[in-house]
Structure 1
Amino acid sequence: MILLQAQNVARYFGADVLFENINLDIQDNSRIALVGRNGVGKTTLLKMIVGETEPDAGEIVKKHGITIGYLAQNSGLESSRTMLAEMESVFTYLKEMEQQIHSLEEKMADPQLAGSPEYEQILRRYDQLQHDFKEQNGYGYENEIKAVLHGFQFEPADFDRPVSSLSGGQKTRLALAKLLLEKRDLLILDEPTNHLDIDTLTWLENYLQAYHGALLIVSHDQYFLDKVVNEVYEISHHHSAYYKGNYSHYVTEREQRQLKAWKEYEKQQVEIKKMEDFVQKNIVRASTTKRAQSRRKQLEKMDRLERPTNDLEGPRFAFTAAKTSGNVVLTVADAAIGYNDHVISGPINIDLRKHKRLAIVGPNGIGKSTLLKSILGKIPFLKGTASFGTNVQVGYYDQEQHNLHDKKTVLNEIWDDHPLMPEKDVRSILGSFLFRGDDVMKVVHNLSGGEKARLLLTKLALDKDNFLILDEPTNHLDIDSKEVLEKAIEEFDGTVLFVSHDRYFINKTASSVLEITPEGSTLYLGDYDYYVQKKAEQEEIQAAKEAAQPSTAPQPAPVSQSKLDYQQSKELQRQQRKAERTVAKLEEQLNHLEEQKNSLEKQMTQPENFNDPAKMSALQVKLDSVTSQIETTEEQWTEASMVLESFE
């Protein structure tokens, strides 16, 4: 059932077009991402949908009686109530229903009403209320409130705190918690992942996957979108385009559409050129003038394709190293971090080698940024040491952006560091980071967070260090800028150590993940998804071990230690056999796929196929599919083999 439609919606600013002919359909079970570069009008469209503003053209059609919940970007909950009271206000109708039930129970207890028509009427009303109360979770809403608050990292000790005493980030999380409890037909979220750590994001993803209403989401968190949405609307070139699938599918499909558009455009340009040449050569010849005139009419009537524009023109840059470092880049030995002799994490050990990219993850407050500053010597370790290898040159990206000078212009921020560089070269480099024209004369203090981030990256790229230490480098960047940064790091011929809560970014760039906990550091030799999988496997093994341990509760009869050891051994053996079966199955699949690949390659060399373009095209499609399956299966085999090795 359609809940809402945007039909040919437009927003104009005088003669300028922000967007027009925007079409969007929201069904009652939709999971939609609205994407596009900063400034294309995503938030403007959301405000039209919720009724805060009206479109300049087109209309927004809504189902009668639809309820919409809207979380604006960086908006927080303002209230004079306590946190718990504010959440309970969502369920006022259930409290009123409960009072009615108690009131009816008192009336039913009156012996004078027994057997009367009034009593029967009260009883029917009571039964209906009981049914409605139960159906609407009247007996469980208090636990539901606590579960949602816990999901957003609020502890029971916080529940009686006044909302007014919370920080801005806490108020934003509380506003989202209240929206979830309200269970609107359509939930519209503008950057809901701001101020959320990875654990909270994971909880929110799981919650939204089971949400009964429709979702319309704007977010720069690609990993979050991959987990939650299955449709994407993109605003580009002032228009909207629809893609079926999650964010990763959208990226792939967008590239394919762009490639197809270029091919069709270039094909038409070749056709136009041939026709124009024919007209030019033959229009004056008596024998061919009619044909030339006919071609000219065809040209005039032709529906010419617009030249495709690469709407992904974000910043363009690369990290390069002026010289090569030694093989050992960084060593951290038995380090402890914290403040005022209070250790918040330790021991931490790092052995980072050349060309590796190590991501540091961990809960908020565990000291990830502190670790980077301690490595750089800005904050002393409480214990342990850090040392750099031979010829290591360090470049540092500070998430607090303290490496910028508030009173300088963008141009001078770069030029002062590189005074011998000609101004035109400085402007050219800044242009590649989207500082164009008069933008270079902006004062740093007046820049947005995203502009400051791009300026910091400009400085970092120009320094040509061989070891980059990055603290939350994707903060403030839009998706296009993040994708450019991902590519720059992937192609960097140096070493990278970074802290990030951006799981998609970690997946794209990290060769290994270091988790920081109060007990110290643990290294995982893979990307973020591998880290999550490995953690889950470790927890499963630990749970099996704990299940095999003797219970502390009184037992009918004592169980011998040998019996417990036997049970524990049996459980671990079961887990190992499961891993062995998985590896064997994947090896069998690989063998089968390799046979298919060899067979297809052999068929493609046969004359009856080689000389038939249609057959070759069909065989190539099959070969590409099998090759992709082999790559995926090999990755699964590698991961399964590492699990098996953990038992050995």
Structure 2
Amino acid sequence: MSTIKVTNLTFAYDGSFDNIFENVSFQIDTDWKLGFTGRNGRGKTTFLNLLLGRYEYSGTISAQVQFEYFPYPIENKERITAEIIQEMIPDYMHWELLREFSFLQMDEEVLERPFATLSNGEQTKVLLAALFLKENSFLLIDEPTNHLDMGARKLVSDYLQTKSGFILVSHDRAFLDNCVDHILSINKTNIEIQKGNFSTWWENKERQDNYELAENERLKKDIRRLSESAKRTSNWSHEVEKTKNGTRNSGSKVDKGYVGHKAAKMMKRAKSLEQRQHAAIEEKSKLLKNVEQGDTLKIAPLAYHKDRLVELVDVAIFYGDKQVTSGIRFSVSQGERIALSGKNGSGKSSILKLICGEDVRYTGTFRKGSQLKISYVSQDTSHLQGNLTDYARSNGLDESLFKAILRKLDFSRVQFEKDMAAFSGGQKKKVLIAKSLCERAHLYVWDEPLNFIDVISRMQIEELLLEHAPTILFVEHDSEFCKNIATKVIEL
């Protein structure tokens, strides 16, 4: 057991005027299982790269362990999997690898296959098994859950629960709760560490946020009251001061000493009130620095003239000559929120594409309402490039509404000037979701919309769907999201 010490870490990218980290200090026990959370674009992957020594920074990072990054970069995925593992760990023991494979329910035969032929889940498991064989290493695991189905997520989470000595970046609440014992969070103004899982951290954060919001309201009232009182007392002081040169009703001279003393006393009281006001303002300025403003999102779905929007009866889906699924039978009615579930490769995305009018080979009966308007969020974000203004115009979106939604999803105004190609994975996904929320549709079809998206934004999207109840058909492997949102689950 040893510690990783971060002292006065400050870092900004070349050409940027804003520091991503500024004088950050904390330490980590190398036996901890750390969940790493924070909103998209806050610098989680950047911090992992700093630990790996990939960027220059000021301050110090000291550790007596080697850092290993997941996913391991593989240049040629056509190579045999066993060769790739040999390159990663030249002196590994074969029996140790097979032991890890057994924990992950992996067959030895995958070692003889080209890495490219392995599914996303198999690739994830192979790389994790290999990396945990490295002695005296601390793993930096960057979003392993993306594109994993629910079964694979549960298996990988159970596997990580048996391990220690890692930082895990994930936005899947159930996944984190199952396998971490500390949370490392990047907040608006600092980085902090708390003992416990994600749910414990979130409860503490909500408690702290609620306290700060209540204290903020109390101080705002105090500042208003003190300000009015100080102003009133100051005005009284000036009025009394004016009487020094006047006369009493009886015609006798005013006692200037008495009046001056009274005016000075009232002015002193006004100054005291102002000082208390400034102290309250200063105290207020310390609050709300890390309160996440998860502003309410809105959507304006269209009502369709019939209750049933889509129907599939005994549909089979084909990839080329290969049939991947058959006997698909379900319908989509207005107001339903349907989760399409199943293992990767079971045809979920193909069904969504079929409903959206793309060219998908199928047999069976497929019916879709005439003049049905559909808003589609694809898994793929690789086409996003250029600026947000041009993107809004080319897609016929209300630019101000589109950008307002992105602001609510924690986009800074600086992001509006950047090329979308430079956005993080989560920010790109938010662009597609914001586009969909701008579109008035009868049916919303979302394919893995939450990949890379931070937890707070996931909660905002949950609240939106529950409040406005659009008709939606979606594929999503975040079990907490599906449990909270789906009115019906279709298992393939």
What percent of counterpart residues are identical?
A: 26
Q: What residue number does 1:581 align with?
A: none
Q: What residue number does 2:82 align with?
A: 84
Pairing 1:415–2:393 present: yes
- CA separation in 1, counterparts of 2:395 and 2:76? 45
Any idea what SS the aligned residue of 1:257 has?
Answer: helix
- Higher relative contact order (Cα pairs below 8 Å, separated by 6+ residues): 2
TM-score, normalised on structure 2?
A: 0.78
Q: Unaligned stretches of 5+ in structure 1?
A: 95-140, 517-648
1:16 Cα deviation (Å)?
3.1
Flag the 1:381–1:312 CA change in 2: closer, same or farther, 3 A: same
Q: 1:398 aligns with which of 371, 378, 389?
A: 378
TM-score, normalised on structure 1?
A: 0.61
Q: What residue number does 2:486 align with?
A: 510
Pairing 1:60–2:61 present: yes
Instruction: Figure out how many residues of one structure are paired with residues of the other and give that number.
Output: 461
Pairing 1:367–2:367 present: no
Flag the 1:147–1:375 CA change in 2: closer, same or farther, 3 A: farther
Aligned-residue CA RMSD in angstroms? 3.9
- Per residue, is there more helix in 1 or in 2? 1
Flag the 1:53–1:168 CA change in 2: closer, same or farther, 3 A: farther
- CA separation in 2, counterparts of 1:167 and 1:347? 24
- CA separation in 2, counterparts of 1:79 and 1:252? 42
Bigger Cα displacement from structure 2, 145-154 vs 2-11: 145-154
Letter in 2 for 1:504: E
Q: What residue number does 1:75 align with?
A: 73
Flag the 1:427–1:172 CA change in 2: closer, same or farther, 3 A: closer
Larger Rg: 1
Q: 1:305 aligns with which of 278, 284, 308?
A: 284
1:498 Cα deviation (Å)?
0.9
Pairing 1:487–2:467 present: no
For 1:11-50, what aligned pairs fall within 5 Å after superposition?
11-12=11-12, 16-50=18-52
Q: Unaligned stretches of 5+ in structure 2?
A: 238-262
Letter in 2 for 1:186: F
Cα deviation digits, residues 417-457 of structure 1 (max 9, x gap): 548x6x65666566556677686576666665444433332
Q: 1:251 aligns with which of 202, 212, 232?
A: 202
1:172 Cα deviation (Å)?
6.0
Cα deviation digits, residues 170-222 of structure 1 (max 9, x gap): 766543321122254633222233454433322221111111x3222222333
Any idea what SS the aligned residue of 1:60 has?
Answer: strand
Letter in 1 for 2:18: D
- CA separation in 1, counterparts of 2:168 and 2:108? 30
Letter in 1 for 2:100: V
Any idea what SS the aligned residue of 1:491 has?
Answer: helix
Cα deviation digits, residues 340-368 of structure 1 (max 9, x gap): 45322121111333322111121221211
Q: Is the 8 A contact 1:359 1:497 kept in 2?
A: yes
Flag the 1:430–1:68 CA change in 2: closer, same or farther, 3 A: closer
Pairing 1:160–2:112 present: yes
- CA separation in 2, counterparts of 1:387 and 1:79? 40
For 1:230-629, what aligned pairs fall within 5 Å after superposition?
230-283=181-234, 284=237, 285-299=263-277, 304-306=283-285, 307-309=287-289, 312-313=292-293, 317-324=297-304, 326-380=306-360, 382-388=362-368, 392-400=372-380, 410-418=388-396, 428=404, 449-516=425-492
- CA separation in 2, counterparts of 1:305 and 1:146? 58
- CA separation in 1, counterparts of 2:400 and 2:434? 15
Flag the 1:342–1:248 CA change in 2: closer, same or farther, 3 A: same
Any idea what SS the aligned residue of 1:352 has?
Answer: strand
For 1:171-210, what aligned pairs fall within 5 Å after superposition?
174-182=126-134, 184=136, 186-194=138-146, 196-210=148-162
1:261 Cα deviation (Å)?
0.8
1:33 Cα deviation (Å)?
1.5
